[in-house]
Structures are given as structure tokens and as C-alpha cells.
Structure 1
Amino acid sequence: MTDAALKTPTDLKSNAVKAVADALNGLLADYYALYLKTKNFHWHVSGPHFRDYHLMFDEQATEILATTDLIAERVRKTGNTTLRSIGDIARRQSLKDNVAEFVSPADMLEELRADNLALVEALRAAKELTGAANDNATDGIIDDWTDQAEQRAWFLFEAGRGA
């Protein structure tokens, strides 16, 4: 079976929507990278604010993971294919992994905040492409994803004050 066999019919112009799908697949890779980093920090956080950070990281990871399915399904609805492997994620992600044996809670908060803000930038760039593609559905849902990432960044910032 080839990609053509997976082609979902759509009225969107193929070149413009291909650019949107590529951007969404890049976002999807970053969402998976951010999910795993957030869970890593959830599992390895320590210190006096352990419970608060542990719970916040878990809540954020759950929200991030839930968004991955929405992104992938949006790519498929537009007649394109999406990520297929961990290697595919690694090739497309722009967010950096953190493989350090120890990360201080303050550094965890700052790194996740910065990653979420980088995600906001990528979401805004993808939103620009949706206008050119006349892809109103993706355009609208990106607003929700942007708001969620901004809220995560805000919570991480506030939790890190004086940390």
C-alpha cells in the first residue's frame, strides 16, 4: 500500500495543504518530544515543591498527549499522512531532548516554559500557512492549541517565581 492509498479526499488545494501538513507533522514531533520531557521531569522532580510540580507536570503531560491525536487526525483529514515512528519524531522535532541525570526543579520549570513558548511560535507559523491553504478548520483549532501552550508557559513561569 502506498501513500496514495491513504489519500483522504479533500477540497483543499494540495500544494498549500501539503505545507500545512508538513508544519503539523513538525508540531506533532515537538508535542511528542515535549510530552516525554514533561513526563521525564514529572518522574524525576525532587525538593520542597515536589508534590506541586509533580502534579502540574503530570497534568501538562496529559494535555500535551491528548493534543497529539488531534494534530495527527487533522493531518489525515486533509489527505496527508503523519508520523510513523520514534525515528520520524527525532528527524522532525525542533525541541531539544533533556537527557541529564539530574535537573534542578527551577531548571525544569524554565526549560518547559521555554519549550512551550517555542511551541507557541511554531503554532503561529503553522496558522499563517492555514490561511494560505484556506484550511479554516485547522486555523481554528490552532487557536486552542496556542492558548493551551500559553497557559502551560504561564503556570510554569508563576510556579518558578523565586524557585
Structure 2
Amino acid sequence: MSKDPKSRKTVALATPTDLGENATRDLAGGLNLLLADVAALYWKTKNFHWHVSGPHFRDYHLLLDEQAAQIDAMSDPIAERVRKLGGTTIRSIGHISRLQRVLDNDADYVTPLDMLAELRDDNKQLCASMRTLHELCDEHNDVATASLIENWIDEAEQRVWFLYETTRRTEG
């Protein structure tokens, strides 16, 4: 083992895997993008949960709390999957902000229906990103990550469905 502390840390974090160096690099990169999006979506959902108001407050407040918990539950398995693959994962809020594709909403006021519609679209975007990552898993024969992603896609599709039905305006 090298005496250089930097190289020693790198070696210490290199978890053995049979997927190969390219797979580790590609999959860890894709999973870190997903983790950044999940973190951004979690905080956006909590932001809207805390700031929703109006006649449907209780229903929306509870819906967003349930969805935030489901989104948060993805974080640890994503990061641990990166480590199982031999990669390293996100280390800070700054790192998340550099990688996230889900946009923040720092507006002072957002109407409840606009909140729900924005989260619906963000979850649709997350589904599309996970499908792309699933294709990468298939390229590298990473069935374990693909299996996790399949469940997360199903959960995100349910969030989209609930948000869609909640915001759908009746016709006529």
C-alpha cells in the first residue's frame, strides 16, 4: 500500500466488484446524478409541504409529507449501491447543487395547484432519468441496480398519478 495518504484513501474505498472499471465509473456517475435529483426533489417536496395553504391544506399537506418520505427512502439505497459498485458518492449540499437536474423553487408564494403540478412534472422527469439509468444498467449487466430502479420508477409513477389526479380540473 502506498504511503501517500491520498492514494491510501482511494484504495481503501475501492470496493471489489466484478462489473469492471467502466461499469463502476458509468453507474456510479449515473447513480450520483439520481441521488442529487432525489435530494433536490425531497427538499422541494418538503418546502411545498411546509408552505401549502388553502381549503385543501390538510389533504395536500399529508400527501406531500407521504411523498417526501417515500423520496427520502430512496437516498440511502442509492448511495449504498454506489459504494457496493466500488464508487464514491455525494459528499455535500454543494455537490448536490452541482449535479441536480430537478430545479429548486425559492418563490415566496406558490399556489397549491402550481406546487402539485410542478412536483408532478418533476416526478415525471425523475422517471425519465431513471429509465435512462436503467438502460445503462442493462449495458453493464448490472441487474441489482436495475431491479432497484424498477421499483423506484413504479413509486415515482404513483406519485405522478396522485399529483395528476389531485390537480386535474373537472371539465364542463
Superposition TM-score, scaled by structure 1 size = 0.97
- Shift of the alpha carbon at 1:134? 1.2
Question: Which one-letter code corresponds to 1:71 in the other structure?
Answer: I
- Which of 89, 107, 117 is the matching residue for 2:124? 117
Structure 1 residues 54-133: aligned runs within 5 Å? 54-133=61-140
Alpha-carbon RMSD: 1.1
- Hey, what's the Cα distance between the residues in 1 that align with 2:167 and 2:67? 15
- Shift of the alpha carbon at 1:3? 2.8
- Shift of the alpha carbon at 1:161? 1.5
- Shift of the alpha carbon at 1:17? 2.7
- 1:49 aligned to 2:59? no
Q: Secondary structure at the match of 1:80?
A: coil
- Point out where structure 1 has 5 or more consecutive residues left out of the alignment: none
Partner of 2:4: none
Task: Identify the structure with bigger relative contact order (alpha carbons < 8 Å, sequence gap 6+).
Answer: 1
Partner of 2:21: 14
Question: Which one-letter code corresponds to 1:13 in the other structure?
Answer: G
Partner of 1:3: 10
- Which of 141, 145, 160 is the matching residue for 2:152? 145
- Shift of the alpha carbon at 1:5? 1.6
How many pairs are equivalent?
163
- Hey, what's the Cα distance between the residues in 1 that align with 2:136 and 2:25? 10
Question: Which one-letter code corresponds to 2:63 in the other structure?
Answer: M
Question: Which one-letter code corresponds to 2:53 in the other structure?
Answer: S
Question: Which one-letter code corresponds to 2:149 in the other structure?
Answer: I
Would you say the 8 A contact 1:17–1:135 is kept in 2? Answer: no
- Point out where structure 2 has 5 or more consecutive residues left out of the alignment: 1-7
The percentage of counterpart residues that share the same residue type is 58
- Shift of the alpha carbon at 1:59? 0.3
The structure that has the greater radius of gyration is 2
Q: 1:54-113 CA deviation, whole Å, 9 max, x = no partner?
A: 000000000100100010011110000000000000000011000000000010011000
